[in-house]
Amino acid sequence: MKFANIILLAGIFAAVLPLILHLLGRARYTPVQWGAMMFLARKPQGTGDGYRRRQWGLLLLRGGAIALLAFALARPMLSSTANTSDAQRLAVVIVIDASPSMGHMEHAESRLDLARRTALTVLGQLRRGDQVGLITLGQPANTDVPLTTDLQDIASRLASLKVAVAPATISDGQRRAAALLAQIEEVPREVYIISDRDRIAWAEIEPRGAQTGSARTTAVKTIAIPVGSTANDNAWIESITLTDGLPVPGVPVNIEINVRNGSNVDRVQMPMTVRDADELIDQVSIDVPAMSTVTVRRRVVLARAGSHMLTATIGPAGIPRDDTASLAVDVVDPFRVLAITDSLDADEFAHLRLALMPYAVSGSQGVDIARLRVVKIDDWPSLDPRRESVVILAGVPMLLDRHVQALENFVADGGGLLITPSDRTTPQSWNASVYLDGDGLAPASIESFSDRAALAMSLTASPLAGKWIKQPMTIDVQKRAIFGDAAAESRVIDYADAAPMVLRRNFGQGRVLAMSLPATSGWSTLASSPKYLPLMQSMIRYLGSARVSERNRPTSSTLEARFSSPQDRSAWVARPDGRADRIPMTMSNDAGLAVYSNTDLPGIYNIRTAGTRGVDFVIFGAHRDSALELLSDAELQSLCKAADITLVKPDAISARIGQSRRGPELTLPLVVGVLSLLGLELLVAHRTTTLRQRRGQ
C-alpha cells in the first residue's frame, strides 16, 4: 500500500482528542460537601458498569472516525495486482501535438513549448525500467519512437521538437499509440495526449470502445492534458498574388496580399514586409478590423530576369507559420511581339505601339514591357517561340495553307497568338483561315458584323492575370464581329448585352486570344480610352507566358521540372516538412523531365539535380489551423468523457502519473467508513441519553 499524501497520516494522532476532551470535562467538576444533602435519599443514575461501557464506546467511535478520516485524506492506494516483477514497471506512450496551431505564441512562448514542458514532467516522474514511446502528431507514423527504457533519448527528442507542417488529429494519435502498446507484454499501460483545444483536431476523436488495436490495449488508461488558453487571437496571410501577369525587369508590378484577422480585436498598425529572397523590397503598416479580411495592394520592382521567390510577412500575429506566404515569380525579358498585316499604314499601329512601348515612343526614361515589330504578310517571317513571344494577326483577310501551318506550329510549341478582325476581314475568310469548323486556332467562328453604339464591357472569369477593369467601362462601338457559340470557359470579356468581346483558347502548349474589335485604331473608341494600355499589356503578358510553367499550385498538384543535359538520371525533391524524396527523370533529346505528385503539404518544394539550384514551386492549401476554433472546457470535458479519457490540467499531472502502477485508491471507501462510524456514534449517544433520562425519572 502507498499514500499520495503521506504527511496527512499525522492526523491519526488526533484520534485521542475525544479522550482528552472527556478527561478535561471531568476535571472541571469538584465535589462540595453540603450538610442538608444527608437527608436526601440516594438514587443511582447511570453510575453502573453498563453506563461506563457506553461512554467508553462513544469515545472509541469518535476517535476511530477521526483516525479513519486522517487515513482517507492521505489517499491510500493498493499495489498493482500484476506479478511482482512487473508491478514496478510501467509502459507509457506520450502523444504530443506538433501541428501548426501549436506554434501559437502565448506570453513569449509557444503552445508547443508548454506541451514540451508537460511531456518532460511526465517523463521525469517515470522510474528506471519503465518503457516510454513518443508519437508526434503532425509527422508521419514512421517517425514514431517505439517503447524504450532510454528515457534520456526521449527527453532529447522532445527538446529538439519543432512545429510541423501537416495538420493533426487526436484519433490518429489514439490509433498509433494502440499499435505501440500492442507489442508489449501485460504491464500497466498509460497514454498521455498533450495538445491544445483545436476543434478540428479533437473533432475526429474515437468514442469509447472504438479504438483500434489488440484486446489487451482496451485496458489502457488515457489521460488528456490540454495546454494553452482558449484565446483566439490569430491573424494570417491568406494569399499573395500577382495582378499584372509575368513581370519584366525594372517594370513595377502590382501584387495583392489578403490578410485575415480571426480574432475579436482590431489589429492596428500591424507591420508587413515583402522580400525577394533575403532582400527587403517593400514594407508598410496595415490595419485589419476584427473578424475581417483586408486586401493590401502594393507595387514592387524586380530588377533582374529569372526565378524569384517573394515572401510577405506580418506580425508576429499568433501562429508564426501562417504569418508568411510565398509566391514563385518568373521575371522575363521584354516580350517580343510580331504584328502581321496586309497594310503598313503607320497610323494604323500608332496606338498599339504607344500601348506596348510608351517609353520608347515618347523618348522617356523607363522600361517597356514589349518590343513591337510590324511585317507585311508578303514578307512572312519564320516563326519561333524562342525568338518571338507573341504574334498579332491584325485583320488578315485570307491566309495560305503554309501560313496557317506555320501559325499552328508556333502556338503548339508555346507561342501566343492574338487574332483581330479589320475592314478587310469577312466571316468567310475568318472561318476558312483560323476557325476551320472548330479545328483551327480561333476559339469561335464569326457569324456576322454588327453596328452598335455605347456598349459597356466587363471582365468575366478571366485567365488574364491583370485585374485592370475594376468597374464596367463604356466605349462607343461603330462595328464589331459577332462570334458564334462559345463555351462559357472561353469568355474573357463580355459586352453589356452578354455578347463576347474577347475569347480564349489553349492550343498545344500555347495560348490564343480572339477579339471582336481590331487591336489597332478603328471600329470603336477603345484605342483612345484609358483602359486600352492595360488591356493590351495584360493580353500580351498572358499570351507571352504560355511557355513559363506555373509554379504556384494547390495541394495535390503534379509538379514538372525540366533540366537540360542533367548529370544524373534522377532528381531530388526537398519538401516543406524537411524530407527529401528521390525521383527518376524521363530523358528525351538530352533533356530530363522530373515529375512529382506527392504535394500533400502546403509550402515550398524544390526539385533539383546535381550541380543545379533547382526549381522552386509553391503549394498552397486551406488554412486549416489558422482560424483557431478552440473548444471550451465544457466541450472538451464532454468529448473526453465519451471517449473514456481522463482530462487533467497540466499543473495536476504529477499526481496522475503512474496510477496504473499504484492500483486503485481507497479514499472513497474510507470516507464511507467515516460516515458510518459517525452515524453509529450518533445512534449510541442518543440511546445513552434516552436511558439516562428514564433512570432520572
Q: Where are the beta strands (DSSP E) in 401-486?
A: 416-420, 446-450, 455-459, 473-475, 480-483
Strands 335-341 and 370-376: parallel
Report which of 395, 392, 542 is spatially closest to residue 481, judged by C-alpha positions. Answer: 395
Return the H-helix or E-strand segment holding 693.
helix 667-695
pLDDT at position 26 is 61
CA pair distance 95, 523, nearest whole angstrom: 71
Residue type for 608, please?
Answer: R
- The phi-psi region of residue 589 (left if phi > 0; otherwise alpha if psi is between -120 and 50; otherwise beta) is left
Residue type for 470, please?
Answer: K
- Say whether both 409 and 431 belong to one domain: yes
Three-state DSSP class for residue 25 = helix
Report which of 61, 63, 21, 54 is spatially closest to residue 688, judged by C-alpha positions. Answer: 54
- Residue 43: pLDDT band by 50, 70, 90 thresholds? low
CA pair distance 475, 530, nearest whole angstrom: 11
Domain boundary among 315, 331, 347: 331
For the ranges 206-215, 257-266, 457-466, 672-681, the maximum mean pLDDT occurs at 257-266
pLDDT at position 285 is 95
pLDDT at position 678 is 81
CA pair distance 591, 585, nearest whole angstrom: 9
Number of neighbours of residue 682 by Cβ within 10 angstroms? 12
- Say whether both 396 and 467 belong to one domain: yes
- Say whether both 145 and 278 belong to one domain: no
pTM: 0.71
Q: Do 473 and 457 touch, CB atoms closer than 8 A?
A: yes
Q: Based on the number of CB atoms within 10 Å of its own CB, is 321 exposed (0-12), middle (13-18) or buried (19 or more)?
A: buried
The three cell numbers of residue 669 are 471507501
Report which of 479, 590, 604, 492 is spatially closest to residue 551, judged by C-alpha positions. Answer: 604
Residues 6+ apart with CB under 8 A from 95: 135, 137, 170, 173, 174, 176, 177, 191, 192, 193, 194, 195
Report which of 445, 450, 451, 398 is spatially closest to residue 425, judged by C-alpha positions. Answer: 398
Backbone angles phi, psi at 218, to 5 degrees: -70, -20
Mean pLDDT for the stretch of residues 654-674 = 70
Mean pLDDT for the stretch of residues 623-638 = 83
In a domain, 37, yes or no: no
In a domain, 114, yes or no: yes
Mean pLDDT for the stretch of residues 569-588 = 90
> Half-sphere exposure of residue 397, counting CA atoms within 13 Å on the CB side?
6
pLDDT at position 188 is 84
Backbone angles phi, psi at 650, to 5 degrees: -55, -35
Report the CATH number that the domain containing residue 98 is assigned in CATH: 3.40.50.410
**Measured between alpha carbons, how far is residue 272 from residues 105, 244, 285, 603 in Å?**
18, 21, 6, 20
Question: In terms of residue numbers, what domain contains 17?
Answer: 2-29+42-78+667-694
Q: pLDDT for 511-535, tens place per residue? A: 999 999 998 888 888 888 888 888 8
CA pair distance 63, 12, nearest whole angstrom: 9
In a domain, 345, yes or no: yes
* pLDDT over 70, % of the chain: 85
In a domain, 36, yes or no: no
pLDDT higher than 80, residue 192: yes
Q: Do 516 and 483 touch, CB atoms closer than 8 A?
A: yes
Residue type for 134, please?
Answer: L
* Structure-model confidence comparison of residues 626 and 468, the more confident one: 626
| Residue appearing with cell numbers 487591336 | 519
- Say whether both 556 and 652 belong to one domain: no
The count of structural domains within the chain is 5
- Residue 38: pLDDT band by 50, 70, 90 thresholds? low
pLDDT at position 86 is 47
CA pair distance 515, 527, nearest whole angstrom: 13
Mean pLDDT for the stretch of residues 540-560 = 89
Helix 17-27 crosses helix 49-73 at what angle (to 10 degrees)? 140
pLDDT at position 461 is 42
Q: pLDDT for 217-269, tens place per residue? A: 447 889 999 998 887 788 999 999 988 778 899 988 889 999 999 888 899 99
Q: Do 197 and 636 touch, CB atoms closer than 8 A?
A: yes
CA pair distance 433, 10, nearest whole angstrom: 105
- Say whether both 464 and 447 belong to one domain: yes
In a domain, 584, yes or no: yes
Q: pLDDT for 313-365, tens place per residue? A: 998 877 888 899 999 999 999 999 999 988 767 678 899 999 999 999 999 98
Q: Do 134 and 125 touch, CB atoms closer than 8 A?
A: no
pLDDT at position 344 is 67
- Mean pLDDT across the chain, nearest whole number? 83
- Say whether both 220 and 170 belong to one domain: yes
CA pair distance 621, 625, nearest whole angstrom: 11
pLDDT at position 597 is 94
Residue type for 441, please?
Answer: L
Q: pLDDT for 416-470, tens place per residue? A: 999 999 888 899 999 999 999 999 999 999 999 987 655 556 544 454 544 545 5
Q: pLDDT for 369-399, tens place per residue? A: 999 999 988 888 899 888 899 999 988 778 8
pLDDT at position 231 is 75
pLDDT higher than 70, residue 142: yes
Return the H-helix or E-strand segment holding 534.
helix 532-544
pLDDT at position 471 is 57
- Say whether both 293 and 434 belong to one domain: no
- Say whether both 513 and 573 belong to one domain: no
CA pair distance 679, 670, nearest whole angstrom: 14
pLDDT at position 312 is 96
Rg (CA), the chain: 42
- Say whether both 499 and 450 belong to one domain: yes
Strand partners, 645: none
Q: Give the angle 283-289-290 at the CA atoms, nearest 5°.
A: 125
Q: Do 318 and 235 touch, CB atoms closer than 8 A?
A: yes
In a domain, 34, yes or no: no
Q: Based on the number of CB atoms within 10 Å of its own CB, is 109 exposed (0-12), middle (13-18) or buried (19 or more)?
A: exposed
- Say whether both 641 and 594 belong to one domain: no
- Residue 82: pLDDT band by 50, 70, 90 thresholds? very low
Strand partners, 145: 134
Domain boundary among 515, 544, 573: 544
Number of neighbours of residue 117 by Cβ within 10 angstroms? 14
In a domain, 35, yes or no: no
**Measured between alpha carbons, how far is residue 661 from residues 79, 128, 665 in Å?**
7, 13, 11
- Residue 663: pLDDT band by 50, 70, 90 thresholds? low
Residue type for 385, please?
Answer: P
Helix 111-124 crosses helix 151-159 at what angle (to 10 degrees)? 170
Domain boundary among 331, 365, 380: 331
Helix 667-695 crosses helix 49-73 at what angle (to 10 degrees)? 160
pLDDT higher than 90, residue 157: yes
In a domain, 88, yes or no: yes
Cα–chain center distance at 566: 36
Number of neighbours of residue 407 by Cβ within 10 angstroms? 26
Report the CATH number that the domain containing residue 513 is assigned in CATH: 3.40.50.880
pLDDT at position 88 is 63
Q: pLDDT for 88-140, tens place per residue? A: 688 999 999 998 889 888 888 899 999 999 999 999 888 888 999 999 998 88
User: Residue 690 carries which DSSP code?
Assistant: H
The three cell numbers of residue 33 are 460537601
- Say whether both 505 and 585 belong to one domain: no
- Say whether both 462 and 404 belong to one domain: yes
